[in-house]
Amino acid sequence: MKFKMAEKSLFAVLLRSPWWISFVVVGLIVLASGALLPKEYFVVGALAGFPIFVVGCIAAWRQLRAPSPAKVAEMIGAVNSMPWRSFADTLAAAWERDGCTVERLAGNGAADMALTRGGKTTLVSARRWKAATHGVEPLRELRAAMQARDASAGVYVVTQGQLSDNARIFARDHGIAVLQDEGVARLLLDKRG
């Protein structure tokens, strides 16, 4: 069974926040423990901040390893200037370095690649990566392809334009991850050899 943290939980919010916020929260817990608890319970109260300290360390590690905003912008510019074949090759190479087996799917169907890792298949739709607008229809096609191939997940890649609100809701409700702008750049930058 795979553990998934609730998106709005305190730990999830702190993981997405700047790392130092977690340490400020820990400091506040220690100060409150010192001010509100009897001396003999201070240590117990202060230790309540330990899980948040661990989250802060994880957030700091992730943020220190993340590429700079300038590198992300540079990569987005490079990706947006690529023709389809180069972009597909770059994505496939990044996922292969990540340990996935990449199968290119023929034709102009809803999915362009099938990623396999640990016996699970994820379908990727990336051909419309430069489209100005992204509605629900390509996501419905990807969902149908996922069902036909018995894929456990899907990825829809976007580097320009925005998804409509309906498309974003459809993706969320049907197990389709949207890899957009910065996510694409980070995938490609993090996976460079």
61 with 119, same domain?
A: no
The identity of residue 38, as a single letter, is P
Residues spanned by the domain of 38:
10-65
Residue 122, strand partner residues: 115, 153
Instruction: Tell me which residue of 126, 114, 118 sits closest to 156, measured CA to CA.
Output: 126
Q: For the chain, what is the domain count?
A: 2
Number of H helices, E strands in the chain: 9, 7
Cα separation, 116 vs 121, in Å, equals 5
Answer yes or no: are the C-beta atoms of 16 and 5 closer than 8 Å: no
78 with 129, same domain?
A: yes
- pLDDT per residue, tens digit, the chain (193 aa), is 456 777 788 898 999 899 999 999 999 999 999 999 999 999 999 999 999 999 999 999 988 887 778 888 888 888 888 888 899 899 999 999 888 999 998 766 788 999 999 889 999 998 877 777 788 899 999 999 999 888 889 998 887 778 888 998 999 899 899 988 778 888 888 644 4
Cα separation, 67 vs 74, in Å, equals 11
Query: In the chain, what are the helix, strand and coil shares in percent, each to the nearest 5?
Result: 55, 15, 30
Asked if residue 1 is part of any domain, the answer here is no
132 with 74, same domain?
A: yes
C-alpha pair distances (Å), 26 with each of 30, 46, 64, 156:
6, 8, 20, 38
> Backbone phi, then psi, for 11, in 5-degree steps?
-65, -40
Taking the C-alpha atoms of 5, 22, 70 and 165 in order, what is their torsion angle to the nearest 10 degrees?
A: 40
Asked if residue 91 is part of any domain, the answer here is yes
128 with 83, same domain?
A: yes
Provide the whole-model pTM: 0.68
What's the Rg (C-alpha) of the chain?
A: 21
